[in-house]
Amino acid sequence: MDYRNKHILAPMVRVGTLPLRLLAAEYGADITYGEEIIDHKMIKCERRANETLGSVDFVERGTGSVVFRTCDEEKDRVVFQMGTSDAVRALAAAQLVCKDVAAIDINMGCPRAFSLSGGMGAALLSKPELIHDILTTLKRNLNTPVTCKIRLLKSSRDTVELAQQIERTGVSALAVHGRTILNSSSETSATSVMVARGALWNASIFCAKGKSSWSDVKREYLRKSILWDNDVKSTKHTLKEMIMHYSSLELAEGKAVIKSETDMDLAKLYGEEEYYHLVNINRP
């Protein structure tokens, strides 16, 4: 996969599921990242072809919960992002999913306490030998492109040195989360750009002709969530994030989303009952 001159949907926890990825791609995103999934969780999964949806599901043994869902429509652009602190475990998880995605990405930038306590995410930034071990292990054993995403270190010099070390592992691309710089206007000589919250609030930000209305984007997101049987908690969370940027959860729409318990509740709220019934009429 070529990462040059691309507009990319960035990985985002709890919202980077199949409906938002497909929506972003429909509006023009060249590459879409899924939400970070921890290797421990992934290696507990088994791959299942979902004939009802036409998707590929990675389902956790014992619980039956879908940890990652993808489909042929995004196979050439979706990047599976993983949280890991161990090369062998990372490889096991990657081998399970690599034939169904366009690339494997290692998250080396997440600052959450959960990630740091497990030696994952930003904790890796102070462990260049472990970074090298993880990336080279994946590179040696996979035909799928391998990438990683880091944060800025305390100094520009340290960041550049780490980036050069990562480059030497042979990864296909390196994303830098420039949290402390002006992401939208800095001149970094980067070949591509990732969009996170801007795409979450209105995925049509990727459209070359200009953004669609907020209301239309919300309805399109809901339709894709219904079509792909997205977990209703995930759908509600994403809708709430969309609402909070432009409005308030204290107003009628926000309160109605919070009260909704099913896809049908959300369909009624956004006037998509007919679509809901059309999608579900032939489902077992």
| 110 a catalytic residue | yes
Residue 12 labelled as part of a binding site: yes
Q: Report DSSP state, residue 282.
A: T
Sign of the C-alpha dihedral computed for residues 73, 68, 15 and 134 taken in this order: negative
Buried b (16+ CB within 10 A) or exposed e, 251-274: eebbebbeebeebbebbebbebee
Chain centroid to CA 206: 16
Residue 165 labelled as part of a binding site: no
Residues in contact with 127: Cβ distance below 8 Å, sequence separation at least 6, in sequence order: 119
R_g of the chain computed on alpha carbons: 19
Residue 66 labelled as part of a binding site: no
CB 102 within 8 A of CB 79: yes
Residue 245 labelled as part of a binding site: no
CB 104 within 8 A of CB 147: yes
Residues 234 and 130: their CA atoms lie apart, in Å, by 33
Residue 11 labelled as part of a binding site: yes
Residue 149 labelled as part of a binding site: yes
Which member of 45, 71, 98, 110 is catalytic? Answer: 110
Residues 34 and 65: their CA atoms lie apart, in Å, by 17
- Which candidate, 150, 152, 153, 154, places its Cα nearest to that of 179? 152
Residues 225 and 104: their CA atoms lie apart, in Å, by 24
Structure tokens of 106?
């290692």
CB 192 within 8 A of CB 6: yes
Residues 211 and 201: their CA atoms lie apart, in Å, by 11
Helix axes 232-246, 18-27, angle to 10 degrees: 50
- Binding site for FMN: which residues? 11-13, 81, 149, 177
- Binding site: which residues? 11-13, 81, 149, 177
Q: Looking at the annotation, which residues are catalytic?
A: 110
